[in-house]
């Protein structure tokens, strides 16, 4: 959505599986949190129609903010992130895409990591990604979405694994 402006009604059209009330509620939450900003307001049939866009400056959710969130806050935030990702993917599919040529991928990997290994993995990913986040638009560049999601998964039974007797 970055650079584009959409009304709440347009967002509802892009994610039809989510109720309009939920989309409106999340737009309010994202606006209040400063993730979305009002790009334009117009009077339409006596009501104010707002066009939203992602904030142009990156939103930083630091560890203190994350620590203050409740489990329900995390659920809502994750649901909004997934709804946004789904909306972006639907918009991609609506453009007559070629997922093979575009190297579209859906990958999910379960990895076993100690806390030190997890910290090292995050540092490695940052080292690779941060320089690319500073790339500016250019004729030879297409915009891609990369959405890393990391959380502890339910442990699978480890019976039979070496060292787990």
- pLDDT at residue 57, as a whole number: 65
CA distance 97 to 144: 13
Dist CA 160 CA 165 (whole Å)? 7
Residue 125's pLDDT is what?
95
Q: What is the mean pLDDT of residues 144-149?
A: 87
| pLDDT given for residue 81 in this prediction | 78
pLDDT in tens, 11-53: 888 888 888 898 888 888 888 877 788 888 888 888 888 998 8
Instruction: Give domain limits for the chain.
Output: 6-99
Give the pLDDT of residue 123.
Answer: 96
Tell me the per-residue pLDDT of 48-74, one tens digit each, with 9 for 90 and over: 889 988 776 665 677 888 888 889 888
**72-119 per-position pLDDT tens digit:** 888 887 887 787 788 788 888 888 899 999 999 988 899 999 999 999
Cα within 13 Å of Cα(148), Cβ side: 7
Check residue 1 and give its pLDDT. Answer: 44
Full-prediction pTM beyond 0.75?
A: no
What value does the CA radius of gyration of the chain take, rounded to a whole number of Å? 20
Q: CA geometry: angle at 92 spanning 87 and 95, to 5°?
A: 130
- Topology of the domain covering 6-99: Arc Repressor Mutant, subunit A (1.10.10)
């Amino acid at each position: 959505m970055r650079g584009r402006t959409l009304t709440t009604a347009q967002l509802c059209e892009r994610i039809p599986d989510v109720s309009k009330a939920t989309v409106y509620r999340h737009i309010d939450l994202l606006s209040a949190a400063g993730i979305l900003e009002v790009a334009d307001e117009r009077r339409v049939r006596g009501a104010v129609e707002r066009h939203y866009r992602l904030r142009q400056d990156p939103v930083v959710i630091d560890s203190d903010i994350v620590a203050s969130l409740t489990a329900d806050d995390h659920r809502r935030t994750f649901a909004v992130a997934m709804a946004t990702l789904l909306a972006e993917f639907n918009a991609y599919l609506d453009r007559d895409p070629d997922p093979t040529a575009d190297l579209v991928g859906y990958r999910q990997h379960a990895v076993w990591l100690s806390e030190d290994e997890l910290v090292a993995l995050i540092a490695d990913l940052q080292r690779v990604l941060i320089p690319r986040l500073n790339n500016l638009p250019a004729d030879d560049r297409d915009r891609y979405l990369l959405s890393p999601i990391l959380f502890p998964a339910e442990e699978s039974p480890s019976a039979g694994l070496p060292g787990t007797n």
